[in-house]
Amino acid sequence: MARLAPARYKQLALDYGMIFVLVALGAGFSMATIRVGYPEDGGAARALARQIVADFGSGVPVLLATRDSAEGAGFASAFRERLEAEGGVVVGETQGTPADARRSLEALVDGQTLPQVIAGPQAAGSDVFLPGSLEKIHPALAEVPFVHPPGETWPVFLTQGNLLNVATQIVVIALIAIGMTMVIITAGIDLSVGSLIALSACTAAALIHWAAGEGAPADVGLGVVVGACGAAILLCGGIGLFSGVMLTVFQIPAFIVTLAIMLIARGLAYKATGGQALGSLPDSFSWLGHQDVGGIPLSVLLMVLFYAGAYVLMNYSRLGRYIYAVGGNLEAARLSGVPVNRVLVTVYTICGLLAGLGGIVMASELKSGDPKTGQLYELYVIAAVVVGGTSLAGGQGRILGTLIGAFIIGVVRNGMNLTNVKPFNQYIVFGGIILLAVLLEKMKERFVKA
Amino acid sequence: MNRITNWVLSSVLVAGLMGCGGGGEDRGAEGTGDPAPAKVIGYSKMNSNNPFFEVIAENIQAAAKEHNYQVRVVSAEADVAKQMDQIRDFVVSKVDAIVLNPADSEAIGAAIEEANAAGIPVFTCDLECTADGVKIAGHIATDNFQGGRLAGEAMIEALGEGGGEIAILTHDPAASCVKRVAGFDEVINTHNEGRASGTITVVKRLPCDGQRDPGFKATQDIITAHPNLAGLFAINDPGALGALAALEKAGKSDQVKIIGFDGQPDGKQAIKEGKIYADPIQFPDRMGQEIVHMIAQYFAGESFEPVRLIPAELYRQADGQADPSLQ
C-alpha cells in the first residue's frame, strides 16, 4: 500500500513508522493485563447506593467503609448523598485500614446499632468483611453481606491512571532525548547526561539547604527554590558548553570528552550532598513532579511544550537546518558557510541544559537530591533516540520520532512491571526490544526506498 | 508490504514478551468478585546482584502461597527513581499491599506518599524509610545495632590481647549499615577505655557500596596505606568477600582478620574455610516469611507490633563445620 502512496506519506511513514511498534506494544500489553478491576468512583458509589435500597428496602442501616485515599473519600461522599436521598441510613462510616474497619464494626456492635449491610469499594476492609471473619467479631454479623460495585474487566495497561503513569515516567528521558537527538544528528554523542541529572538534582537541593542556613530548608521561599533550580540548570548548561568547546577547539572526540565529564559530574554530585540524598525540601520544590493541571501532570505538560518547541526549532529555524547540515557532511557545511563550531557548541549546551532540567524534574518527583540517580540514563536516552529512528551516523533523525522512541521505552518498562516479567528477564526483553525496533526500522527503510 | 512486515515483527515482539512473562503470571481475577479474587503483593527488591534479597523474595513467594496471595517481584537495582516508577506501577494496577527494600532511606519517601494517598499499605523490610510524613504499615529487619555489637565482640575475640589497627568498609546510604557500624564502634570504644596496651584503633573507614568490587578496591587502598592492618569489618558479605579477594591477592589474608555481616552462603563457606573469622548472621528467610504474615494480619484487621526486629546471631568457623547446608 505504502508504495502507492504519494511521496509525502511515504516520507511520513519513513519518519514516524515506529508509531506502529508503539501501538503494537500497547495492544500486546493491553491483552496481557486484562483483569477484573473494581471501580471506586462516584458513579459506581451512587449505583451501589441505589442497588442497596432496591434490594434491602428504604431505611436500611448501612456501614460505609472506604480506604483512606482521595478516591475513597469521593466514593464515601457520593454514596452517602445518594443513599440518604433514597431513604437509606448510614449508621457507621470508616475510612482507613482493615483494622479501622474492624474497630468501627466493634463500636457498632457495642452501641447495639448493627448494620444490615456493609458497603464500600471492593478493596475496603479487606479480609475483615469476609463472612467467616464477620461472624467472629459478633455472631449477629454472620448474615450481614458486604456489597461492593461489581468488577469490570478491563486492561490495566489502558487505564487513564496507567497511561499518565507511562507519560510521567518518561519525562526525564524524553526531555534529555531532545538534546541528544540534536547531538546525534550532528554525528556526536553525549555520555554525560546521566551524571548531569544527578549533578543538577544535588546542586539544587544543596543550594536550598545552603540558602536556608540555620533555618529549616523546608521553609525557604519560592524565589530561593526557583533560583536554586535555575542555577543548577545553568551549571549543567555550562558543563555542556565546556564539552562543546573541548571537542571543537581541541578536536577531542565527543565520546572521550563526555565520558570524562560523566565521571567528573558524578563526583561533583556526590560532593554537593556529601554522598547522601538531601531531602526535607520545601513543598514548592515538589510541585513540578507532583502537581497537575486538569488531570495532566505538570511535568508531562512541560515535556509536550518542549517537544513542540524543538519540533519548530528543528524544522523551521536556521539552527535546525545547520544541525542537519553539520551531521550530513561537516566539510560541505563548513564550505557553504555554516558556522560549524558554533552549531556544535550550541547543541552540546542545549543537551546540558536539558539534562539539568531533567535532573530538576527527577529531584522534584523524589523530593530530594540523590547523587545515585540517573545512572545508565545516558543509555536509555540514546536508546530512545535511536529507536526513534535517528541514525548514529548523523544527518538523519526526527524529533517526534524520538518522542515515540521514549514512549516505546516507557511502555516496555511499565508493561513489564504490570505483567510480572521477572527482574532478570526484564533486561533481556528490554535489550531485545531495542534491537528488534531498530531492525524493524532498517527493514522498513529498505521497503520504502525500494 | 511495509505494513505487513510491521505487523509480523510486532507480533514477534509481543509474543516474545508474553513468553518471558512466564510462570506465576497474574491470570486476572477468576469469577466476578465472588469469591474475592486473590490478593496481590508487589515486592520491589533492592537489587538483583545480592542473593540476600533473592532469599527474601523466595520466602515471600513461598509464604504468600500459603495465604493464596499472588506476588509480583521487581528489582530497583539500587536506583530510587526506578523504584519510584515501580511503586507507581503497583499503585495503578491496584495491588493490595506493597513490600519494599528502600533504595534510599530518604528519597523513597515521595513514592511511599503516593502509595499512602491511594490507600495501599506499604511494608518495608531489611531497610527502613526515614523520610518525614510517610505511613509505613509494618517493618521487619535485623536488629542491626545489636548485630554491629556482635561484630565488635567478634573482632575483639579475633584480635585477642594484642589489639591492632583495623579498617571498616561502610555503606552510609543505608541506615541499616550505619547502625551496624554504630554498634561495632560502641563495643570497640568500650573495649579501649582505660586500656594502656592492646587497644583496637580504627585507622580507615571507606565506603564499599555493599558490593564486592568496590569492597575489593577499597581494601586494596587500605592495605597500601596501612600495611600493618590486623582486622577489617565489612558491613555485609559482598563487601567482606571483596575485601578477602584483595587481601588474598596481596598475600595478607592470614594477617588481617575479617568480620563480615549477613551469613550468605558464600560468606558462610568462607567462614567454614577460615577465610572470614565470623559473621553476625541475619535471617532473610524469616524476614520474607514474617512480612507476609504481618500483611495477613493487616488484611484481617488484627493489631500487631508494626516494627519487628530479628536479633542477629554470631556465626563462627565451628558453626560452619557443623552446617549441613555447606559442602
Q: Do A447 and B1 touch (CB under 8 A)?
A: yes
Partner residues linked to A34 by β-bridges:
A155
Chain B residues within 8 A of A372 when measuring between CB atoms: 78-80, 103-104, 173
Is residue B91 within 8 A of residue B115, CB to CB? The reply is: yes
B303: in domain:
no
In CATH terms, the fold of domain A158-449 is: ABC transporter involved in vitamin B12 uptake, BtuC (1.10.3470)
B182 and B262, same domain (yes or no): yes
Domain boundary among B136, B166, B199: B136
In a domain, B27, yes or no: no
Greater confidence (A367 vs B31) lies with A367
At residue B322, what are phi and psi to the nearest 5 degrees? Answer: -95, 0
B220: exposed, middle or buried (C-beta count within 10 Å: 0-12, 13-18, 19+)?
middle
Q: Spell out the residues 6+ positions from residue A121 whose beta carbon is closer than 8 angstroms to its own.
A: A38, A39, A40, A44, A66, A67, A71, A72, A75, A148, A149
Residue A172 confidence (pLDDT): 96
CB contact under 8 A, B81 and A365: yes
Mark which of B136, B171, B204 sits at the end of a domain.
B136
Cross-chain residue pair B13–A125, CB shorter than 8 Å? no
CB-nearest partner of A36 from B28, B108, B173? B28
Mean pLDDT of A436-448: 75
pLDDT of residue A63: 92
Return d(Cα A106, Cα A121) in angstroms, integer: 20
Q: Does B16 touch chain A (CB under 8 A)?
A: yes
Question: What pLDDT is attached to residue B258?
Answer: 97
- Are A30 and A60 contacting, i.e. CB atoms less than 8 angstroms apart? no
Mutant choice from A160, A408, A417 vs B, greatest count of B C-beta within 10 A: A417
- Side chain identity at residue A5, one-letter code: A
Is A60 in contact with A91 (CB distance < 8 Å)?
no
Whether B248 is covered by a domain: the verdict is yes
Whether residues B156 and B267 fall in one domain: yes
Q: Based on the fold, state whether residues B105 and B225 are members of the same structural domain.
A: no
**Does B25 reach chain A within 8 Å, measured CB to CB?**
yes
Of the partner residues B7, B21, B81, the one whose CB lies closest to the CB of residue A373: B81
pLDDT band at A419 (very low <50, low <70, confident <90, very high): confident
pLDDT, tens only, B62-92: 999 999 999 999 999 888 999 999 999 999 9
- The answer as to whether B126 is a domain residue is yes
All 3 cell numbers of residue A353?
541544559
Model pLDDT, residue A112: 82
C-alpha cell at A403: 518522542
Residue whose C-alpha is closest to residue A63's, from A55, A71, A52, A54: A52
B22 touches A at CB < 8 Å: yes
Confidence at residue A421, expressed as pLDDT on a 0 to 100 scale: 85
- pTM of the entire structure? 0.82
The answer as to whether B9 is a domain residue is no
Per-residue model confidence (pLDDT) at position B23: 37
Q: What percent of chain A has pLDDT over 70?
A: 95
What three-state secondary structure class fits A419? coil
- Residue B105 resides in a domain: yes
Beta carbons of A279 and B88 less than 8 Å apart: no
Helix pair angle (B237-249, B212-225), 10° resolution: 50
Residue A49 has pLDDT above 70, yes or no: yes
Q: Which residues contact B258 (CB under 8 A, 6 or more apart)?
A: B231, B232, B233, B234, B240, B243, B244, B247, B275, B276, B277
C-alpha to C-alpha distance for B85 and B63, rounded to whole angstroms: 26
The pLDDT tens digits of the residues spanning A264-305 come to: 999 999 999 887 888 888 989 989 888 888 889 999 999 999
Among A25, A32, A98, whose Cβ lies nearest the Cβ of B13?
A25
Mean pLDDT of A11-21: 74
Residue B14 falls inside a structural domain: no
Range of lowest pLDDT (A8-12, A216-220, A390-394, B84-88): A8-12
Of residues A393 and B180, the one with the higher pLDDT is: B180
Work out whether strand A117-119 and strand A146-147 pair parallel, antiparallel, or are unpaired.
Answer: parallel
CB < 8 Å to B56, chain A: none
pLDDT in tens, A115-148: 899 999 988 878 888 888 888 888 888 888 999 9
CATH number, position B70: 3.40.50.2300
CA nearest neighbour of A169 among B41, B92, B307, B32: B92
Does any CB of chain A come closer than 8 Å to the CB of residue B305?
no
Tell whether B318 is within 8 A of chain A (Cβ). Answer: no
Say which residue the cell 558479605 belongs to.
Answer: B237
Looking at the structure, tell me whether residues B231 and B115 fall in a common domain.
no
User: What is the pLDDT, as a whole number, of residue B19?
Assistant: 45
In the beta sheet, which residues pair with residue B145?
Answer: none
DSSP secondary structure letters along A116-176: SEEE--TTTTGGGGSHHHHHHH-GGGTTPPEE-PPPEEEEGGGSHHHHHHHHHHHHHHHHH
Domain count, chain B: 2
Verify that B90 and B174 share a domain, yes or no: no
State whether A99 and B301 contact (CB < 8 Å). yes
Residue A387 has pLDDT above 50, yes or no: yes
Cα angle for residues A421, A423, A428 (degrees, 5° grid): 80
Rounded to an integer, the average pLDDT of A404-408 is 94
The whole-number pLDDT of residue B291 equals: 96
pLDDT at A5: 55
User: Is residue B251 in some structural domain?
Assistant: yes
B274 and B152, same domain (yes or no): yes
Q: Are residues B42 and B109 in the same domain?
A: yes
Rounded Cα gap, residues A341 and B3, in angstroms: 41
Interface probe, candidates B10, B58, B208, chain A, greatest A C-beta count within 10 A:
B10
Tell me whether residues A275 and B172 touch, CB distance under 8 A.
yes
Work out the minimum CA distance from B190 to partner chain A, whole angstroms: 29
Runs of H (alpha helix) within A295-398: 298-316, 318-328, 330-335, 340-366, 377-387
Among residues B136, B152, B186, the one where a domain terminates is B136
ipTM rounded to 2 decimals:
0.84
- What mean pLDDT value characterizes chain B? 88
CA distance A28 to A23: 9
Query: What pLDDT is recorded for position A126?
Result: 83
Task: Select the residue from A164, A202, A366, A446 to test the B interface by mutation, using most B Cβ atoms within 10 A.
Answer: A366
Percent of chain A at pLDDT above 90? 56
Clarify whether residues B94 and B187 are in a common domain. Answer: no
Same domain (yes/no): B148, B55: no
Q: What is the pLDDT of residue A217?
A: 84
> Which one of A154, A372, A439 makes the best mutation probe of the B interface by having the most chain B beta carbons within 10 Å?
A372
- Same domain membership, residue B130 and residue B190: no
Q: What is the pLDDT of residue B22?
A: 39
According to the model, what pLDDT value does residue B48 have? 86
Task: For chains A and B, count residue pairs whose Cβ atoms are closer than 8 Å.
Answer: 253
pLDDT of residue B36: 67
Question: Domain span at residue B275?
Answer: 144-281+316-321
Residues 6+ apart with CB under 8 A from A426: A413, A416, B74, B75
Asked whether the beta carbons of B239 and B212 are under 8 A apart, the reply is yes
Q: What is the pLDDT of residue B26?
A: 38
Q: Do B10 and A366 touch (CB under 8 A)?
A: no
For residue B88, list chain A residues with Cβ-Cβ distance below 8 A: 165, 168-169
Amino acid at B48: S
Per-domain boundaries in chain A: 42-150, 158-449
Low-confidence ranges of chain B (pLDDT < 50): 1-3, 5-6, 9, 17-33
Mean pLDDT to the nearest integer, A385-402: 90
Is A24 close to B13, i.e. CB distance below 8 A?
Answer: yes
- Cα–Cα dist A448/B2, whole Å: 7
Q: Are residues B123 and B182 in the same domain?
A: no
Pairing mode of beta strands B138-142, A292-293: unpaired
What integer best gives the mean pLDDT of chain A?
90
Q: Which CATH number fits domain A42-150: 3.40.50.800, 3.90.1150.10, 3.40.1190.20, 3.40.50.2300?
A: 3.40.50.2300
